[in-house]
Structure 1
Amino acid sequence: MNNYNLTLVLKPGLEEKARLELLESLKKKFAKVEKEDLWGQRSLAYPIKKQTLGYYVHFVIEAEPKIAKELDKTLRSEEDILRYLFVRV
């Protein structure tokens, strides 16, 4: 098992219910969520997909490398995620 940091920038117009459903579906893919921080809505340094704001969420997770690769594919295909940073620590 490896530890990973995952930081997501979600679309700011996403309703709270939809945002929570998205986060819950992602958490089901993790082996173990050690920490979850909702950083809230913040300004972006530059526009991403014509958005100037983003909703930030940070996770510290523990997962097998195989799960990590699958999660990376899922994050790339999710249209409500503007950007993400997925790093092994």
Structure 2
Amino acid sequence: MRIYEELFIVKPDATEEEVDHLIEQMSGVITHAGGVVNKVDKWGKRRLAYRVDKYREGEYVLIEFQAEAPTVHEFERRLRVNDVVIKFMTVRIDEDLKRIEKRKKHREKRASRKASAAPAAPQPSVAQQMLGPEMPAAQ
């Protein structure tokens, strides 16, 4: 199963009960198809970047879930036909999580190599480099 984030914007004039019912309905679609809902965040009403269907603001809802591709298609279809939803966006985040984990392991490996390396010899000053090893630097 892959991990997805679904962010959708609900009309600002929708009641709290309508929004909760929509969240319950969409979570039911995921669980019925064998997926798992990891997190549901209601961000509240926010101003939109641009006008959408004569609305300047909307209520944002973020759902993070694990599911297969056909479940995501059904989820998006139901959002598309729902009158309360203004806009929605689905993002697959499991690839990003894998990439972040890989970078973290690489950093830890590099840090452990640096820590285990012996301390380097002190570097000669610029004057010593210019004069050479046989001539002492003036004091």
Normalising by the smaller structure, the TM-score range is over 0.9
Secondary structure of 1:53's aligned partner: strand
Cα RMSD after superposing both structures: 0.8
Deviation at 1:46, TM superposition (A): 1.0
Structure 1: where are the runs of 5+ without partners?
none
Tell me which residue corresponds to 1:23.
23
The structure that has the greater radius of gyration is 2
Tell me which residue corresponds to 1:40.
44
Judging by fraction of residues, say which structure has more helix: 2
Runs of 4+ in 1 over 6 A off after TM superposition: none
Structure 2: where are the runs of 5+ without partners?
94-139
Question: TM-score w.r.t. structure 1 length?
Answer: 0.95
Larger RCO, structure (CA 8 Å, separation 6 or more)? 1
Percent identical across equivalent pairs? 30
Deviation at 1:64, TM superposition (A): 1.3
How many aligned residue pairs are there?
A: 89
Deviation at 1:69, TM superposition (A): 1.2
Tell me which residue corresponds to 1:83.
87
Judging by fraction of residues, say which structure has more strand: 1
